[in-house]
């Protein structure tokens, strides 16, 4: 027992690169680094730990370090070996010590018999210094320089070992550009093999990211093997990260080129002229430029075969990668431009049948999203129904993804069977409204149900992207855009109005959510009386508030909500007038405002506290002008008698000048 306790006490001291120091030493990725797009089919709880290929490279080092330290500890026999005479050895401390010494000698002999044992021992000794935490930059660079002196010229010999691979990674991670480029040059010719190794694949990703001058030569070593590497368990993440995160436009074409077939790869690499190579930079469009029909047919046939092999092995995970989505999109664009329209439709149908069951794996990238949108725009009613069936379980995740939500918007734009859409798609969007309104993407998804493509909430780039399918829609759809939008809006209105009724009081205090509430109240169809009461009861609280929470009228966004509802629509700056919403009755809301909020609070908004309600009350006066609002107008005129008007004149309310003009016009 004493021997065991002694061994346990020594354990932390032996392993100088133990798990805890490595975790503390992990560096966060630079702010400029992008993150890989995550498939919407990936459960939310597994987004950050689903696989090694999806973790950040620095985090992977910490995870791998824990396993490596356990291995080193076992090699050094820090954990006592179990033997048949264990009980007797515990009773005899001297015998236990002798057995331990014998085990250490045996371990040293085994270690010395391994290839490059001396080199690895020296490298580990220096590495433990270079990788220690709390080092100054000068000291770390000194140790990195010493470590590079140890492994220089031998990197290729040791990099495939799990412990030595991490030593080389440390040089790349903390070293200067000179050391990084030196390591990259030494490994030339081995990158394909390195990418397929369980441990050294992380080093390849680091070199692609940190050595831009060597990046193209590294990617060229993958040429001719891209399809095989995409289906490889270890290498697939290397290619995916390189394509999506670290390469420029031309370097991406080097990875996509393998999909075009061996003929194109050989032609551009060996016998192609400068003009042919320049065309290759344009992707498939450049390859097929001025191509004869036979060559075009061979290229598209090769692409179809390559894509089919990827989709037939969907369990390998390559179907989620952006490089595959780029190749698929290029294929579809080429098919749609086919001189033979019947042949093009046949090819589109065939590729749709190949990938229809995994369409949800495509929507999270720009090219994959465009692919699914093209299938929606050009597909038959049966095809669209199949697409909705595949996407339905993932709609909520799609709503909060920039690219994936474009697929949902296109489905709302092109599907004539609005009953099917309202039954399958709309409830999946309105059901989690409370969650969706917490993000900009989620709010955009809710807004598209009631005010699609409005410049108030959608950027010109997004609107232009959605308009790409309009030409096809004009040929394939029977309903007009206005009719389809109205039917979708009507189908979504009941759930959205109920949501405002139940949660409106809390939501109007949130800046983003208040924008969604405004559009729902103005444009949704149905009885909004209860929803209006929810919003007005929040405004009827004593002003100024006695508690710490500000009154809704003192919040700029919620004050704007009430003002917009009272004026009946949004103000158009270009036309210098209010665009009234047909589905909203501003005068009825103004009457409800007076009944629910009451005289005391209305007057206090203009005369007490921060006096931020002057603009709202001014719109209240404007809404009740005319013969139709005569009763409310007279009541309001009585509320703001000469004494109140004088108090407003002497006060510091924002907008008091406008308010006084509106009161005078009653």
Domain regions of the chain by residue span: 2-27+50-113, 528-664
Kindly state the tokens that stand for 159.
């990099």
DSSP codes, 519-576: HHHHH--S--HHHHHHHHHHHTS-SS-SSSSPPGGGSHHHHHHHHHHHHTEEEETTTT
Kindly state the tokens that stand for 532.
């209006």
pLDDT at 115: 58
Distances 510 to 432, 507, 554, 569, 653 between C-alpha atoms, Å? 17, 5, 13, 20, 24
Q: Assign 579 to helix, strand or coil.
A: strand
Whether residue 255 contacts residue 243, with contact meaning beta carbons closer than 8 Å, is answered with: yes
User: Of how many residues is the chain composed?
Assistant: 666
pLDDT at 91: 55
Distance between CA 226 and CA 221 in Å, rounded? Answer: 10
* C-alpha triplet 470, 473, 478: angle, nearest 5°: 135
Q: What is the dihedral of CA 197, 25, 241, 272, to 10 degrees?
A: -70
Whether residue 213 contacts residue 178, with contact meaning beta carbons closer than 8 Å, is answered with: no
Kindly state the tokens that stand for 467.
């308009």
pLDDT at 39: 92
pLDDT at 68: 44
pLDDT at 25: 39
Whether residue 537 contacts residue 505, with contact meaning beta carbons closer than 8 Å, is answered with: yes
pLDDT at 62: 44
Burial class (CB in 10 A: 0-12, 13-18, 19+), 101: exposed
pLDDT at 468: 94
HSE of 413 in the Cβ direction (CA atoms, 13 Å)? 26
Question: Facing residues of 578 across strands?
Answer: 571
pLDDT at 89: 44
- Nearest partner of 349 among 360, 366, 336, 358, judged by Cα: 336
HSE of 316 in the Cβ direction (CA atoms, 13 Å)? 21
The segments of the chain whose pLDDT lies below 50 read: 1-32, 45-89, 270-272
Whether residue 40 contacts residue 397, with contact meaning beta carbons closer than 8 Å, is answered with: yes
Whether residue 90 contacts residue 4, with contact meaning beta carbons closer than 8 Å, is answered with: yes
Where do we find the tokens 């749609």?
A: 336
CA 554 to chain centre: 35
User: For the whole model, what pTM was predicted?
Assistant: 0.83
Q: Kindly tell me the number of DSSP H helices and DSSP E strands found in the chain.
A: 41, 2
């Amino acid at each position: 027992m004493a021997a065991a306790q002694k061994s346990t006490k020594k354990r932390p001291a032996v392993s100088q690169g133990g798990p805890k120091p490595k975790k503390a030493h992990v560096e966060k990725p630079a702010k400029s680094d992008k993150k890989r797009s995550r498939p919407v089919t990936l459960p939310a709880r597994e987004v950050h730990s689903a696989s090694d290929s999806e973790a950040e490279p620095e985090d992977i080092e910490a995870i791998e370090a824990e396993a490596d330290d356990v291995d080193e500890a076992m090699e050094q026999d820090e954990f006592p070996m179990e033997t048949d005479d264990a009980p007797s050895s515990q009773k005899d401390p001297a015998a236990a010590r002798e057995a331990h010494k014998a085990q250490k000698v045996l371990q040293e002999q085994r270690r010395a018999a391994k290839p490059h044992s001396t080199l690895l021992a020296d490298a580990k000794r220096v590495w433990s210094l270079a990788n220690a935490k709390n080092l100054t930059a000068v000291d770390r660079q000194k140790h990195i320089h010493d470590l590079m002196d140890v492994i220089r010229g031998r990197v290729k010999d040791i990099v495939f070992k799990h412990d030595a691979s991490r030593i080389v990674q440390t040089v790349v991670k903390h070293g200067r550009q000179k050391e990084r480029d030196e390591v990259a040059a030494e490994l030339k010719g081995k990158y394909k093999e390195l990418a397929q190794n369980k441990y050294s694949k992380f080093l390849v990703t680091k070199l692609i990211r940190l050595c831009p001058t060597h990046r193209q030569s590294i990617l060229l070593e993958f040429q001719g093997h891209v399809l095989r590497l995409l289906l490889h368990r270890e290498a697939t993440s290397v290619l995916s990260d390189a394509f999506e995160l670290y390469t420029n436009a031309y370097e991406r074409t080097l990875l996509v080129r393998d999909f075009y077939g061996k003929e194109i790869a050989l032609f551009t690499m060996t016998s192609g002229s400068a003009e042919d190579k320049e065309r290759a930079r344009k992707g498939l469009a450049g390859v097929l430029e001025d191509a004869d029909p036979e060559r075009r047919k061979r290229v598209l046939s090769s692409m179809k075969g390559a894509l089919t092999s990827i989709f037939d092995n969907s369990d390998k995970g390559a179907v989620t990668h952006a490089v595959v989505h780029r190749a698929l999109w290029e294929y579809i664009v080429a098919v749609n431009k086919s001189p033979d329209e019947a042949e093009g439709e046949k090819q589109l149908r065939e590729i749709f049948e190949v990938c229809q069951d995994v369409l949800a794996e495509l929507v999270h990238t720009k090219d994959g999203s465009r692919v699914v949108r093209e299938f929606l725009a050009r597909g038959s009613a049966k095809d669209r129904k199949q697409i909705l069936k595949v996407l339905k379980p993932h709609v909520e995740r799609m709503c909060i993804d920039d690219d994936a939500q474009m697929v949902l918007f296109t489905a709302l734009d092109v599907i004539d069977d609005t009953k099917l859409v309202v039954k399958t798609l709309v409830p999946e969007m309105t059901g989690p409204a409370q969650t969706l309104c917490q993000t900009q993407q989620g709010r955009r998804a809710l807004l598209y149900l009631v005010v699609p493509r409005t410049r108030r909430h959608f950027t010109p780039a997004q609107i232009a992207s959605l308009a790409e399918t309009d030409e096809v829609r004009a040929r394939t759809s029977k309903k007009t855009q206005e009719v389809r939008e109205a039917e979708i809006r009507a189908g979504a209105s009941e759930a959205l109005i109920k949501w405002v009724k139940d949660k409106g009081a809390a939501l109007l205090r949130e800046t983003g959510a208040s924008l969604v509430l405004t559009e729902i109240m103005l444009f949704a169809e149905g009885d909004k009386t209860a929803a209006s009461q929810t919003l007005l009861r929040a405004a009827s609280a004593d002003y100024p508030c006695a508690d710490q929470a500000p009154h809704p009228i003192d919040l700029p966004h919620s004050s704007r909500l009430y003002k917009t509802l009272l004026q009946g629509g949004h103000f158009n700056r270009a036309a210098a007038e209010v665009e009234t919403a047909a589905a909203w009755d501003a005068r009825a809301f103004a009457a409800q405002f007076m009944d629910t909020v009451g005289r005391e609070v209305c007057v206090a908004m203009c005369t007490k506290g921060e006096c931020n309600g002057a603009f709202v009350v001014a719109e209240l006066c404007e809404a009740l002008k005319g013969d139709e609002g005569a009763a409310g107008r007279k009541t309001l005129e009585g509320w703001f008698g000469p004494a109140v008007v004088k108090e407003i004149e002497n006060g510091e309310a924002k907008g008091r000048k406008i308010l006084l003009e509106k009161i005078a016009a009653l």
